[in-house]
Amino acid sequence: MTTTDSSSSSTSPTELERNAARDVLGWSGSNGGWATGGFTVKLLDALASADEHNRALLEAVFPELVGAFRLFSGDENGIDILIARSAA
């Protein structure tokens, strides 16, 4: 599934969006990430195995992280978007 990320336009990412991008990239072993802490690793593992209903519930509490995860897992350009976001 390809999604369109409206926040990847000309607006700069917030610090939370940059950190979420770095967390997802680090969790996935991609360039541009950083060492992700234990809770965040478990949360990303949960997102990876969650159905859409449970992802939506987690998104209410962790919107930036779930948004970054959705880019990673559902957008063919997601990793490139996250790398650009993490460097902004």
The model's pLDDT over 36-76, given as tens digits with 9 standing for 90+, comes to 889 999 999 999 999 999 999 999 999 999 999 999 999 99
Domain assignment present for residue 65? The answer is yes
> Collapsing DSSP states into helix, strand and coil, what is residue 3?
coil
Domains contained in the chain, number: 1
Give me 48's structure tokens.
């990876």
Domain assignment present for residue 4? The answer is no
- Residue 1 above 60 pLDDT? no
Residue position matching structure tokens 């000309």: 10
Domain assignment present for residue 7? The answer is no
Domain assignment present for residue 1? The answer is no
Domain assignment present for residue 18? The answer is yes
Domain assignment present for residue 22? The answer is yes
